[in-house]
Chains A and B, each alone.
Chain A
Amino acid sequence: MSDGIRDKVAILGMGCSKFGERWNCGADDLMLEAFGEALIDAGVERDAIGAAWLGIFFDEQSTGKSSLPLAMTLRLQGIPVTRVENLCATGTEALRGAAYAIAAGVCDIALAMGVEKLKDTGYAGLPERTKGTFEDLYLPSSTAPGAFAQLASAYAARHGYTIEQLRRAMAHISRKSHDNGARNPKAHLRNRITEEQVLAAPMVAYPLGVLDCCGVSDGAACAILASPRMARALGRKDFVSLKALQLAASNGVEMGHQSWDGSSTLTTRIAAARAYREAGLEQPRQQIDLMEVHDCFSITELVLMEDLGFSDEGRAPHDVLEGRYDRDGAIPCQSDGGLKCFGHPIGATGLRMAYEIYLQLLGRAGERQLGSPAMGLTHNLGGIPNRNVASVAVLGLAT
C-alpha cells in the first residue's frame, strides 16, 4: 500500500517570469527568465539536475512538440527530459513528474518547467484547436468562457439563486483578484477595478463578461526539486515540501451521464478528498492557510470553494460576499492575483500557483505577504466542466 509523497519531496528553488503580453519574448526567453531565478534560489549548478519535465499545452502555436524546447533552451547535457500535457493542468503535471522521480529516489535533483507563449496566435482569447477527429463532428464549436459559463446557469438553478445574485458574488471575486494583482509586480493585470465595472463589462459568454475572464498571457514558471535528505545535505533548514499531489481525470460521466448536473467540477471533489488524506489533513478548512485555485473564470472560483470543501453546499456566494476568501479573510484565495490577474500562460499556471504558495510559506511574498502561513493548497484544472483533469496539491513547511 503506497503512502503517497507526503514529505518525500522538497522544493529547493522556484522561479517565475513576469506574466503578460510579452511581445518581445519567445518561449525560450520566458523559460530562461524563470530558470535563472530558480537556479539562484536553489543554489545548485545546472548540471546537478538529473532529469527534467516540460509542461506546454499549445505546442502547435509556439515551440512544437516534445521535450526538446526545454533541453535545447537550457542546453541540458544529455539528461532525460520529458514533455507532458494535460490541458490547463499541464504545469502541475510537470511538477508531478519531477516530484514522482524524487519520491521514487531515481534522481537527486529534478526540474519541472512550465511555459506557454500564447500571444503569437494573432488574436485575443485562446487559440482554436481540434477536439478530436470524431468530437469535432458533433461537439459544439465552444470556447473556454462558454464552457465554464454554463456552471453559472446550472449552479443558480440548483441552489435557487438568480443569475443577478450570482453575478454580484462573481464580481466580488474579480474585484478581489484585481486588488491582489495590483500588489504583484509580476502580474499581467495590475489595475484595480470595481464590482460595477465587472457587471457592466461587455458580455463574452453569458453570464460571463470580459472582466469575469482571466488574462491570456505569456509566461513560464519552474521548480527545482530534491529529496528532503538532499535539501538538508545542501544546508537547508526551513524549506517547503510537498504534502500531497493528487490528480483526478474525468471518465466521461459529466459528458454523458445524468448523475452530474453541471453545477460543479466532479474531479476536483475526488482529487481534493484524496489530497487531504495524503496530506493528513482532517480539517482542511482550519488547516489550510491560503490557496491558489484555477480561477479561469469568476464562476469557476465560486463553485470551487464548494468543490474543495471550503464552503458549504450552496453557500459559496455568501462566503465570497462576506470576504471569507479576500486577502484579509479566513482563507485568502489568489493572493497573487490568480489566473485572473497574474495571468494564465497555460503550461506555467500550475507551477505559478506553487510559486506563490512557496513564497508565502517562506515569508518572501513582499508587499502581498500574508502573515506567516504554514500550509497552502493549489488547485489546477484542465479542460472544461464537462470533461477535465483536476489536480490538487498541498504544500507546507517541512517539519
Chain B
Amino acid sequence: MGELASIVSCGLYVPQWRLERTRIAQAMGWLGPAPAPGASGARAVCGWDEDALTMAVEAGRCCMAQAQGGAPAALSLASTTLPFADRSNATVVTEALDLPDSVRTSDHAGSLRAATTALAEAARCGADSSTLLIASDARLARPGSAAEMEYGDGAVALLITGGPPPEGCKPLATLRAVAHLSADFIDHYRMTGEPFDYALEERWVRDEGVAKLVPAAISRALVLAGLTAADIDHFAMPGLPGTARRLAQAAGLARARVSEGLREDCGDLGAAQPLLLLLVGFGQGVDALVLLAGEGAAARAQRELAQVLARRRLEPHYTRYLAHRGLLAPDFGRRAERDQRTAQSVAWRKHRELAAFIGGRCSACGAVQFPKSRVCVNPECRLADTQAEHRLAETSGRLRSFTEDWQAYTPHPPCVYGNIGLEAGGNLLMELTDVAPGELEVGAPVRFVFRIKDCDRQRAYRRYFWKATRG
C-alpha cells in the first residue's frame, strides 16, 4: 500500500489565555449541588481580538515558516465557527499569509470532522499538488454547561502534499488510508445563527454512537491500509476523557498507545481537535485515518507543542472571559458607541497593506515604511514612486515608546499602544495585544500578529489588522 499523501509540516496555535476550570466552577457552581466533575486544568480561550480566522492565520504562519518550497496550490480552512457565513474565510487567511492569488481557497464547515474530510480531499489532489489545511475553532459555550468546561480554542495547520513525500523531505507522517462512514447520528448540533451547541445525553452518545460507529470506520481503514488492529501503535480520538481508551479496546487496538489531547492545558479544540490528534474525526459519521509516523516526527511535534504551550497566561476574571466572548455586555463607556463603519472601497484599495501587512521599501534609499506611500518618508530622500512591496508581518521590532490608555475604548482595558522601531528601519505606531499593564519597557522586542481590529456592531462586521506583541 503506497502513500496517499504526506504531511510535510505542521503549525499549532493556542491563544495565550487560560481559564482555569476551578474558576468556572467557582463562578457557576451554584447551578448544581455537586462540585463540577473534572474541574481541573485549564482551557484555552481567545483574547477579545481573536477568532477562528485570526488563529488560523497564526497556525498557518507557523506551519509555513517550517515548510520548504513554494506556496501551496490550495488553502482549506475547516471550522464550525467561521466568522463569515458568506465571505470566503479561507481567502482572508490566504491574503493574511500573503499567498499568491492563484491559490484555490475553500471553507469546510458543518461538522467537527470537517478537517479530516478536507484532509482526505487534499490527499486526492495528486502528487504535484500541495494543500495548506488549517482547522480552527473558537466555540461558544453556555455559561455553566459541560461544554464550557471541555471546549478550548485553538488552531492546527498541516501542509499536505499528494502522494509520497517530495525528494529530500522528511515528512511528519504519511497517509496510508482514509475511511469514511457517514451517519446522521446527532451527538450535538447547532442551528445556523445560534450561539450554542445543544448536546445530547452523553451515555447514549457514548454507547450508541461512538462505540458503534468508530470501530466500524477503523475496520474499514485497516482493510484499506492492508493492516490489522495489532499493527497500530498509536490511537487518538476526540471526545470526553476515557472515550479513546474504551474505543481502542473495542476496536482491538491491543498495543496502541492512546492519546486524548490537551485537556489539562487547552481543552477540546473543536474542528481543530482531529488535526491535533490526527486520527479520527467524528460528527454525523466518522473519518478514520491511518498514518505512518515520520522519522523524528514525534520529537518535532513535541518541541513545537511545548513552545506554544509555554506562552500561557491565566485569565483571572471569569466575567472578562464572558465579556470577550459576547456573553456579558458590560458598560464600556460612551467611547464604545463610536461608529466603526469600514470604508470598504478603501479597505479594498489598501488590502495588501491591511491584510498582508505589506509596507514599502524605497529602492533608492532602502527606507522601510508603513503604509507604503508614493513619496519616500526618509527626509534625506523623499523620492517619488520608488517603493517596492515589503512584507512586515514576519519581521520584528523594538518598542520605542508606549502607553497604557484607560480612556481609549477597548474590550480589554487598558488599550496599549506605542511606537515600534522595525529591525529593518522605520517606525510604526501600533496597538499591542496580549500584554498586561506594567510589563512593557522601552527597548522590549516585539513581533506581529493578525488580530481583530474593530467590530462594527451596527453592520455586524469585523475588521482585521496586525498588532504587535511581546517578541
Do A and B actually bind? Answer: yes
Q: Which chain A residues have a beta carbon within 8 Å of chain B's beta carbons?
A: 122-123, 125, 128, 133-134, 136-143, 145-147, 149-151, 153-154, 156-157, 203-206, 208, 251-263, 386
Residues of the A chain whose Cβ atoms lie less than 8 Å from the Cβ of B346: 133-134, 137
Asked whether A257 lies within 8 Å of B442 as measured between CB atoms, the reply is: no
Query: B309 contacts which chain A residues (CB < 8 A)?
Result: none
Distance in Å from the Cβ of B273 to the closest Cβ of chain A? 34
**A140 in contact with B430 given A253-B377, A258-B425 (CB within 8 Å):** yes
Q: Nearest CB to that of A208 among chain B residues?
A: B403
B402 at interface (Cβ–Cβ under 8 A)? yes
Bound complex: CA A122 to CA B338 (Å):
13
- Is the CB–CB distance between B418 and A137 below 8 Å? no
In the bound complex, residues from chain B placing their C-beta under 8 Å from that of A257 are 367, 369, 377-379, 426-427
**Docked-complex contact A206 and B404, CB < 8 angstroms:** yes
Is B377 within 8 A of A252, CB to CB?
A: yes
Contact of A142 among B333, B342, B415 (CB under 8 A): B415
Please report the C-alpha to C-alpha distance between residue A386 and residue B415 in the assembled complex, in whole angstroms.
17
A125: nearest residue on chain B (CB-CB)?
Answer: B407
A133 adjacent to B343 (CB under 8 Å): yes
The answer to whether A262 touches B379, judged by C-beta atoms less than 8 angstroms apart, is: no
Smallest beta-carbon distance A190→chain B, Å: 24
The answer to whether B379 touches A142, judged by C-beta atoms less than 8 angstroms apart, is: no
- What CA separation (Å) do A251 and B378 show in the bound complex? 10
The docked-state distance in angstroms from the alpha carbon of A150 to that of B431 is 13
Closest to B417 in A: A140
Give min CB distance, A307 to chain B, whole Å: 16
User: A153 to chain B: which residues have CB within 8 Å?
Assistant: 401-403, 418, 441-442
B453: shortest Cβ distance to chain A, in Å? 7
Rounded to whole angstroms, the CA-CA distance of A255 and B335 in the bound complex is 25
Could you tell me if A205 and B342 are in contact, using CB atoms closer than 8 angstroms? Answer: no
| 26 A-B residue pairings within 8 Å (CB atoms) | A122-B334, A128-B338, A134-B350, A137-B343, A138-B465, A140-B415, A140-B430, A141-B454, A143-B408, A146-B403, A149-B405, A150-B418, A150-B419, A151-B401, A154-B401, A203-B406, A206-B414, A251-B377, A252-B373, A252-B377, A256-B373, A257-B369, A257-B427, A258-B421, A262-B401, A262-B419
| Given A153-B403, A205-B404, A206-B404: A141 and B410 interface contact (C-beta under 8 Å) | yes
Q: Please measure, in the bound complex, the distance between the C-alpha atom of A203 and the C-alpha atom of B453, giving whole angstroms.
A: 24
Contact with A along B324-349 (1 / 0, CB 8 A): 00000000011100100011001100
- Determine the distance from Cα of A145 to Cα of B338 in the docked complex, in whole angstroms: 18
B370 at interface (Cβ–Cβ under 8 A)?
Answer: yes
Chain A residues near B189 (CB, 8 Å)?
none
Write out the residue numbers on chain B whose beta carbons fall within 8 Å of the beta carbon of A253. Answer: 377, 379
Are B378 and A150 closer than 8 Å at their CB atoms?
Answer: no
User: B465 to A128, Cβ gap below 8 A?
Assistant: no
B333 and A123 within 8 A (CB) = yes
Q: Could you tell me how many residues of chain B have their Cβ less than 8 Å away from some Cβ of chain A?
A: 52
Whether A137 pairs with B347 at a CB distance below 8 angstroms is yes
Residue interface mask B356-400, A partner, CB < 8 A = 1? 000000000001011101000111000000000000000000001
Closest B residue by C-beta to A261: B400
CB nearest to B359 among chain A residues: A256
**CB closest chain-A residue, reference B428:** A256
B354 interface contact, C-beta 8 A: yes
How far is it, in angstroms, between the C-alpha of A115 and the C-alpha of B442 when the chains are bound? 39
Which of B353, B405, B425 is in CB contact (< 8 Å) with A145? Answer: B405
Say yes or no: B335 contacts A123, CB within 8 Å.
Answer: yes
Given contacts A141-B408, A146-B405, A255-B429, contact A128 B379 (CB under 8 A): no
- For residue B129, give the distance in angstroms from its CB to the closest CB of chain A: 35
Please report which residues of chain B, range 182-222, place their CB below 8 angstroms from some CB of chain A when the two chains form the complex. Answer: none
- Chain A residues contacting B373 (CB-CB under 8 Å) are 252, 256
Whether A140 touches B377, Cβ cut-off 8 Å, given contacts A205-B406, A257-B426, is: no
Closest chain A residue, CB of each to CB of B402: A153
Q: Does any Cβ of A come within 8 Å of B245's Cβ? A: no
Whether the pair A258, B442 counts as a contact (CB closer than 8 A) is no
Contact A139 B429 (CB under 8 A): yes
Selected contact of A140 from candidates B333, B371, B431, CB within 8 Å: B431
In the assembled complex, B320 has its CB within 8 A of some CB on chain A? no
The answer to whether residues A156 and B408 also contact, given A134-B350, A138-B353 and a CB cut-off of 8 A, is: no
Task: List, in ascending order, chain A residues with CB within 8 A of B429's CB.
Answer: 139-140, 142, 255, 386
Q: Which of B342, B418, B427 contacts A255 (CB 8 A)?
A: B427
Kindly list chain B residues whose C-beta atoms are within 8 Å of the C-beta of A123: 333-335
A386 and B338 alpha carbons, distance in the complex (Å): 23
CB–CB B403/A206 < 8 A: yes
Contacts of A208 in B (CB 8 A): 403
CB of B462 within 8 Å of the partner chain: no
Rounded to whole angstroms, the CA-CA distance of A258 and B401 in the bound complex is 12
Q: How far is the CB of B21 from chain A (nearest CB, A)?
A: 33
B242 contacts the other chain (Cβ, under 8 Å)?
no
Complex formed: what's the CA distance from A9 to B326 in Å? 60
Q: How far is the CA of A262 from the CA of B421 in the complex (A)?
A: 10
B166 within 8 A of A: no
B126 within 8 A of A: no
CA distance A252 to B378 in the complex (A): 9
Which residues of the partner chain A approach B367 to less than 8 Å between Cβ atoms?
257
Q: Could you tell me the distance between the alpha carbons of A151 and B442 in the complex, rounded to whole angstroms?
A: 11
Q: Is B463 among interface residues, defined by CB-CB distance under 8 A?
A: yes
The CA of A145 and the CA of B405, in the complex, are separated in Å by 8
Known: A137-B347, A260-B427. A386 touches B379 (CB 8 A): no
For the complex, give the distance between the alpha carbons of A356 and B53 in Å.
Answer: 56
B38 beta carbon closer than 8 Å to chain A: no
**Bound CA–CA A122/B401 (angstroms):** 31
Within 423-471 of B, Cβ neighbours of A (below 8 Å) are at: 425-431, 437, 441-443, 453-454, 463, 465
